[in-house]
Structure 1
């Protein structure tokens, strides 16, 4: 009951190279996706193209709890910008796979997130609150798409882009 498998589909007008560059720059997540990423700290830079890069994350959703976990890049596709994979450890244990496909001017993004909850609150109450915990994840990903669209506009130098709200700590 503590297992979760989410597949998120995003689509936006962008090149896969633009999206790849933004999502791979994990240290910037709290700046442009502040509704979820409160703090990110690199603990190992990894090798060429970021393979093996390991970060500590402090994250939240709309529910009143936070998560502490690590992410390690396990696979990269820098030549065609088609995605990367990561391993999660800590309050989550599992893997995430980002896949990017260019279709004309649109970048289609799939995030396949398969994890087990290890944080006691999630681990022991999943049998009861799994739909609420799942809704929390879907909220976080909706916020991610909104934030990614704004970040693309900022990267492109559009002048009318609002600044992201400051992160709130719970």
Structure 2
């Protein structure tokens, strides 16, 4: 494994229906609204030539004082069980979200395989890899907290109808 290469799996378990969780996690355009600590800006940036899917330009951050500019698009989708995506820019690689209903709970797994390509961070990867991983897991922890808040907001909105 190269110094700037990362595999970072994340597991979440949440009491909810798989369709609700999938709906939130599959709508990339809305991440900056419900996951604002990490997704600072998301813009539609065209169409991917390989997949025909929308490409999103993202500006993201973690706990460490740097921001990443990258693009992402879905490469495969099997609603409500999985979504695969690819990344280019400061991060290059691919990831897959998997969703599994387990009784009243949904098990969510995100497998993220990326290379850090932002020049300074790529150069620092040999010595900073543990901190960069920690930064990713901080961001994913914020995502889990934000997902729970978003699902609760949706429940309240449905109840009000």
* TM over 0.5, shorter chain: yes
**Greater Cα shift, 18-27 or 81-90:** 18-27
Instruction: Give the distance between the partners of 1:59 and 1:148, measured in 2 at CA.
Output: 17
Alignment of 1:14-33 (within 5 A): 14-33=16-35
Instruction: Give the distance between the partners of 2:89 and 2:62, measured in 1 at CA.
Output: 17
Instruction: Give the distance between the partners of 2:87 and 2:118, measured in 1 at CA.
Output: 13
Moved over 3 A (4+): none
Aligned to 1:119: 118
Aligned to 1:165: none
Offset at 1:64?
0.4
Instruction: Give the distance between the partners of 2:148 and 2:14, measured in 1 at CA.
Output: 7
Offset at 1:51?
6.6
Give the TM-score taking structure 1 as reference length: 0.86
Instruction: Give the distance between the partners of 2:52 and 2:135, measured in 1 at CA.
Output: 29
Task: Give yes or no for contact 1:51–1:73 (8 Å, CA) kept in 2.
Answer: no
Task: Give yes or no for contact 1:92–1:116 (8 Å, CA) kept in 2.
Answer: yes
Aligned to 2:63: 62
- Tell me the matched-pair count: 154
Offset at 1:44?
3.3
Offset at 1:16?
1.2
Q: Which of these residues, 10, 13, 20, is aligned with residue 11 of structure 1?
A: 13
Aligned to 1:72: 73
- Give deviations 1:39-82, integer Å, cap 9, x for gaps: 00112367xxx97221010000010000000001000012xx00
Q: Residues 51 and 15 from structure 1, CA distance in 2 versus in 1: closer, same or farther, beyond 3 angstroms? A: farther
Offset at 1:23?
1.1
Aligned to 1:36: 38
Aligned to 2:86: 87
Unpaired stretches in structure 2, ≥5 consecutive residues: none
Aligned to 1:139: 138
Q: SS in structure 2 opposite 1:64?
A: coil
Task: Give yes or no for contact 1:51–1:75 (8 Å, CA) kept in 2.
Answer: no
Instruction: Give the distance between the partners of 1:26 and 1:44, measured in 2 at CA.
Output: 14
